[in-house]
Amino acid sequence: MPKIVTAFLLALLVAALSGCSRTDQERAHGQKPTDLSQPRHSLRIGLIPEQNIFNQMERYEPLAQYLSKKLGVDIQFTILLRYGNIIDNFVADGLDGAFFGSFTYALAHEKIKVRVVVRPEYPDGHSTYYGMIIVRKDSGIRTVKDMRGKRFVFVDKATTAGYLLPYAYFKSHAIDHHTYLRESYFAGTHENVVMDVLDRKADIGAIKNTVFALLAAKNKRIAQELMMLERSPDVPENALAFRKDLDPKLVQDIRTALLRMHEDIEGAELIKAFGAKRFIETTDNDYLPVYRYARQAGIKLSSYDYLND
């Protein structure tokens, strides 16, 4: 009897160790844990660090719970520490989808052919945003000439507002910002950029207008002490896109659920708390302004190095 028990326990131990080992190997080689072409009952969706990563997670978490309950699929959001990580994680960690920023989507669509589905429409009716170059009003910086030798804070190389705009701006003035500026760095979130310029940790910053408005509503100093020098064209708000080989029916179900979310009481309350009015259908054509803006800036999406220096 003890031998049988010992053998059973050893068998369990071997099975457990072999299971752990296989998972580690898969992760080490960036392999997908399952066959992604098959329908699954759980989804991992990435979130870009648009604002404080903890607040960002808190804002999106109710959406995951709503969709999980609605669709019977376990949906989990995963926060990413960099915009560019989304593209990496689709490959390395097997993300099924993500809420992409406009430039991130353009890059991901170009590199891994993700399919955009929906994006939020805000209570004032807009579903786009634009990038802003901001300075303190008392900084004396008004033109590109005034920026020489200053400190510039970007968000991330994979953001439209936080990098593509200033990149295009300097490009239009035939300026290499690496040498023109005293210092440039990536704050990681739009919120950090606003606060760094406000707190004089940087002289100039590039951000998206929606985050600026959001923060300005909470902190009066932002509108009183900061000003915009330049803006980008309007581009689509952060949108949900899925990997190209995800079960089309599941994609369709999620799209339908989100598009109708504002029609039921629970969904309407959640979407209101999220800060939006509803989700609207979104296609790749909505990103034409982004593609055009990147081209104008001389960026080739397929070969663009989105990793921050």
Which residues lie near other proteins (CB under 8 A)?
49, 52-55, 57-58, 78-82, 156, 183, 185-189, 191-192, 195, 201, 308-309
CB of 95 to other proteins, least distance (A): 12
Nearer to other proteins, 2 or 54 (CB): 54
CB of 46 to other proteins, least distance (A): 9
Nearer to other proteins, 42 or 55 (CB): 55
Nearer to other proteins, 91 or 288 (CB): 91
Do residues 212 and 194 lie in contact, with contact meaning Cβ atoms separated by under 8 Å? Answer: yes
CA-to-CA distance for 151 and 183, rounded, in angstroms?
Answer: 5
CB of 107 to other proteins, least distance (A): 17
CB of 13 to other proteins, least distance (A): 26
Nearer to other proteins, 122 or 185 (CB): 185
Nearer to other proteins, 169 or 186 (CB): 186
Query: Which of 230-263 are b and which e, b meaning 16 or more Cβ less than 10 Å from the residue's Cβ?
Result: bebebbbbbbbbbbeebbeebbebbbebbeebbe
CB of 227 to other proteins, least distance (A): 23
CB of 57 to other proteins, least distance (A): 5
Nearer to other proteins, 167 or 279 (CB): 167
CB of 277 to other proteins, least distance (A): 27
CA-to-CA distance for 5 and 9, rounded, in angstroms?
Answer: 6
Q: What phi and psi values does residue 228 have, to the nearest 5 degrees? A: -100, 135
CB of 33 to other proteins, least distance (A): 16
Structural tokens at position 195: 């606060």
Nearer to other proteins, 305 or 309 (CB): 309
Quickly count: other Cβ atoms within 10 Å of residue 141's Cβ.
Answer: 20
Nearer to other proteins, 152 or 287 (CB): 152
